[in-house]
C-alpha cells in the first residue's frame, strides 16, 4: 500500500502497521493541508501509533523551507 492510501482511505480504511515509527506532524494554521494533517493524526491514533501534532498559528504551507530566505535582524 502506498502512503497516500493511508491518508485518503482508498481501498478500504487501512490501519497503520504496528511497527510504524513515532510521528510528529507540524503544520501551519494557514496551510491548505492542515485538515488532511489532522485526519492523518486521527487515523494514526486510532491505529495506536504514537503521534503528535503541533499547529503553528499564522504559518502557511512550506514555512520550514523559508528560513534561508529570511534576513537576520
pTM of the predicted model over 0.75: no
How many helical (H) and strand (E) elements, i.e. helices and strands, does the chain have?
A: 2, 2
Lowest-confidence pick of 2-6, 39-43, 51-55: 2-6
Largest CA distance in the chain: 51
24 has pLDDT over 90: yes
Q: Do the Cβ atoms of 32 and 61 come closer than 8 Å?
A: yes
Cell of 21: 515509527
Whether 10 shows a pLDDT value over 60: the answer reads no
Amino acid at each position: 500500500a502506498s502512503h497516500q492510501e493511508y491518508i485518503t482511505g482508498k481501498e478500504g480504511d487501512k490501519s497503520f502497521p504496528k511497527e510504524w515509527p513515532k510521528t510528529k506532524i507540524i503544520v501551519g494554521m494557514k496551510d491548505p493541508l492542515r485538515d488532511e494533517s489532522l485526519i492523518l493524526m486521527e487515523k494514526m491514533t486510532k491505529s495506536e501509533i504514537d503521534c503528535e501534532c503541533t499547529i503553528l498559528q499564522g504559518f502557511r504551507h512550506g514555512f520550514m523551507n523559508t528560513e534561508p530566505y529570511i534576513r537576520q535582524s
